[in-house]
Structures are given as C-alpha cells and as structure tokens.
Structure 1
Amino acid sequence: MEEAMNNIEELFSAAKDEMEFAHESVGSVYYHEDRVTAEIAVGECLQAFDKFLTDLPTDEMREEVQSKVGMKIKELQMEYESLPEEGG
C-alpha cells in the first residue's frame, strides 16, 4: 500500500512538472507536444489513484484516502482541463 502511494506521489509530481512545461509553452511551437505529454502524465496519475482506491479493502480506507489525496488529484485534473485548446 505504501509503495502504491509513493508511486502516485511520483506520478503526481511528474504530472505537475509536465503541466508547468505546458503552461510555459502556450503559444509556442512546443505547446502541442507539451500539452500531449501533460495529458498522458495526468492520465497516468488519475489511473493509478483510481486503481489504488479500488484496491483498498474497506470503504472507510477509501474515504480517508479520498479526503487526504482526492482534492489534490481533482485539482490536477482541473488544471489540465484549464489549459488552452491548441490554436486557441
């Protein structure tokens, strides 16, 4: 369980880095690639978090993890969704 949380933290950190690159490259020729890379990183983090929740043995544990980590994950997803569309 601790290993899974560490993995999620690593994926979250990587996704945040990719989001930063995407934000910095808005309007440049690099934006498309940076946005795609951020999308993949955010998706991997969300998948790992969802799998972790599913694998927890009790609803009580799921609720605890959701309350401690869920908001950070939701904010990451919202941050990605707030990136400008390409060419717009």
Structure 2
Amino acid sequence: MAYFNSRDTSMRTLERVNEEACKKACLGDCACMAAQFVYGFDPNDGYCYLQSEVLSLETMRPEIFHYNSTMHIKIAQGKSPRRLF
C-alpha cells in the first residue's frame, strides 16, 4: 500500500517497531486516523507513520519498491440506537 504522506508530513513516526505496536500506537491516540506500517526484510524492524487524515491510497508492488506496507484505518464506532420506553 502506498500513501502520498511521508515521514515529513506524518503526525508522528515510530522507528524499529512491529506491526502490532504500530496498530496499538494509533489506537491509543485520538488524533490518529490511520497507521501505515512499512518494513523491508524484517517485520519486527519497521517504521510506523501515524496519520491524522487519510486522503488517498494506491496499490504498490513490493518487487519494485523493495518494501512492504500495510495501512490500518481507524473506523469510528457508530452510535447505538436509542431505546424509547
């Protein structure tokens, strides 16, 4: 997954993390809307780009770009319907 946002425009960047730590970092931050996890050969030594907004995504081919990327997008929980008595 490629995203035009980068380390320079990310809300926050975490280094030398795994995918689970990346997801947890976003879940624990109310301003985070998505977490992009990027790694080369070792999935336990990646970068996590926390994004405050998600504008556009595109598919990328790891054999060309030589890294793997996953985007985890936070979805707001819907309000439960009110019960009328």
- What TM-score, normalized by structure 2, do the two folds share? 0.29
Larger helix proportion of the pair: 1
- Which one has the bigger strand percentage? 2
